A and B are shown apart, each in its own frame.
Chain A
């Protein structure tokens, strides 16, 4: 589903890693680990097409990369892309619809993530954990096979870590794939991939 081969990435003058290869199959979750600054986020950004690698290739099966990124990828980074002055309902509706969700998908995501009571609030009134749940809702609302997650659990409490873990497990069980940068173990069956200590 995703094949990274011989990847070399640098930020400015600093080389993050050289010749990194990684495969992600359908129905598989990979937990990216590594020290701070080792390049976990940069690897995810390169897969999403935001960062141009110095060398190596990133392939999405038989799909053309630009097309795969526009139709098959979900991205959840440190920044959630939510506008703090707008209502949660408007932001969820835009994010999910932009990525291709229909109304039924959005309703299902609202139910699964218990967002109903938050929808009429402005995003600025939400806590960090509530914002994360709202951002996560677009992944549930829009079926896309590959999820790229950067520290998805950081602001969440224990209950929601478990709940999101179950949703991730369900995604993997349905044949989806997850590549997640994490410090703590993922609450799903996942293969660990350590990219090292950085330089």
Chain B
């Protein structure tokens, strides 16, 4: 078994250990989307124009929840030192951890997303588009989230710092994702917005491993 698959499986096990972090993220996601109609008044017609945007905002916020676990725990208990001496370069370690984060947290969130979108007033026939765009977007969130988690390593207020570092980086996928939903609602092809969303993911997949690995090396010194 290759070293990276050993790490990947460990990351999945850790994500689900201790009370099921992914379920917590999904619960938080649903709570946010239920709160919005309550806070903004129950009129579905008034909510429908912003439903896609609010769903994506909630998705972005829910994706931040478990990022602190990604590197900070391993840094605190010394596991990151051990991982750095393994056979795989740190760049691939960052990529494997981000991929596991996507599978453990992003995919459950993407599955939850149609429910959240319908709660906000989107019609059920939009559900496949919501799920697909959320699946792609969650991969972007996992990648840039991993970068933010690596940059915040070793700081005392890591969790809060990650949110402040990462939220600005989440602006493009939120814009493109919400744009895809809006085009879908208006009967236009969501293709261009999904293409931009995918381009963002590819960009993050190239930048995150190198920048993240450099940030980890810096934190270890």
B2 to A: closest C-beta gap in Å: 10
A40 to B219, CA, bound (A): 19
Determine whether B79 belongs to the interface, using a CB cutoff of 8 Å to chain A: yes
A45 to B78, CA, bound (A): 12
Question: Does B78 lie within 8 Å of A78, measured CB to CB?
Answer: yes
Question: Does A98 lie within 8 Å of B83, measured CB to CB?
Answer: yes
Give which listed residue, B17, B76, B83, B88, contacts A86 with CB less than 8 A: B17
Question: Does A50 lie within 8 Å of B220, measured CB to CB?
Answer: yes
Determine whether B45 belongs to the interface, using a CB cutoff of 8 Å to chain A: no
Give which listed residue, A74, A75, A81, A83, contacts B14 with CB less than 8 A: A83
Determine whether A134 belongs to the interface, using a CB cutoff of 8 Å to chain B: no
Residues of A within 8 A of B80 (CB): 81
Residues of A within 8 A of B84 (CB): 48-50, 69
Question: Does A71 lie within 8 Å of B87, measured CB to CB?
Answer: yes
Determine whether B85 belongs to the interface, using a CB cutoff of 8 Å to chain A: yes
**Scoring B residues 9 to 23 as 1 if CB is less than 8 Å from chain A, else 0, what string do you get?**
010011001100000
Q: Number of B residues whose C-beta is below 8 Å from A?
A: 28
Determine whether A186 belongs to the interface, using a CB cutoff of 8 Å to chain B: no
Contact-residue bracket for chain A: 20 to 34
Question: Does B78 lie within 8 Å of A94, measured CB to CB?
Answer: no
Question: Does A83 lie within 8 Å of B220, measured CB to CB?
Answer: no
Question: Does B82 lie within 8 Å of A95, measured CB to CB?
Answer: yes
Residues of B within 8 A of A66 (CB): 89
Give which listed residue, B7, B13, B81, contacts A79 with CB less than 8 A: B81
Question: Does B79 lie within 8 Å of A75, measured CB to CB?
Answer: no
Question: Does B77 lie within 8 Å of A79, measured CB to CB?
Answer: yes
Determine whether A191 belongs to the interface, using a CB cutoff of 8 Å to chain B: no
Question: Does B10 lie within 8 Å of A94, measured CB to CB?
Answer: yes
Determine whether A34 belongs to the interface, using a CB cutoff of 8 Å to chain B: no
Which B residues from 17 to 68 make CB contacts under 8 A with A?
A: 17-18
Residues of B within 8 A of A73 (CB): 85
Tell me the dominant secondary structure on chain A's binding face: loop
Given A75-B82, A81-B81, A85-B17, A51-B3 contact (CB < 8 Å): no
Question: Does A48 lie within 8 Å of B10, measured CB to CB?
Answer: no
**Scoring A residues 155 to 197 as 1 if CB is less than 8 Å from chain B, else 0, what string do you get?**
0000000000000000000000000000000000000000000
Residues of B within 8 A of A78 (CB): 78
Given A97-B1, A98-B6, A48-B85 contact (CB < 8 Å): yes
Q: Which residue of A lies closest to B7 (CB)?
A: A98
**Scoring A residues 79 to 115 as 1 if CB is less than 8 Å from chain B, else 0, what string do you get?**
1111111100010001101111000000000000000
B193 to A: closest C-beta gap in Å: 40
Give which listed residue, B77, B86, B220, contacts A70 with CB less than 8 A: B86
Residues of A within 8 A of B6 (CB): 94, 97-98
Question: Does B81 lie within 8 Å of A98, measured CB to CB?
Answer: no
Given A51-B221, A98-B3, A98-B7, A85-B82 contact (CB < 8 Å): no
Determine whether A18 belongs to the interface, using a CB cutoff of 8 Å to chain B: no
A73 to B84, CA, bound (A): 11
Sort A-B residue pairs by CB-CB distance and give the 5 closest, nearest first: A79-B78, A81-B79, A81-B78, A50-B220, A81-B82
A-B contact pairs, 8 of them (CB 8 A): A48-B85, A69-B84, A70-B85, A79-B77, A79-B81, A81-B80, A86-B17, A100-B3
- B-side interface residues toward A, CB under 8 Å? 1, 3, 6-7, 10, 13-14, 17-18, 73-74, 76-89, 217, 220-221
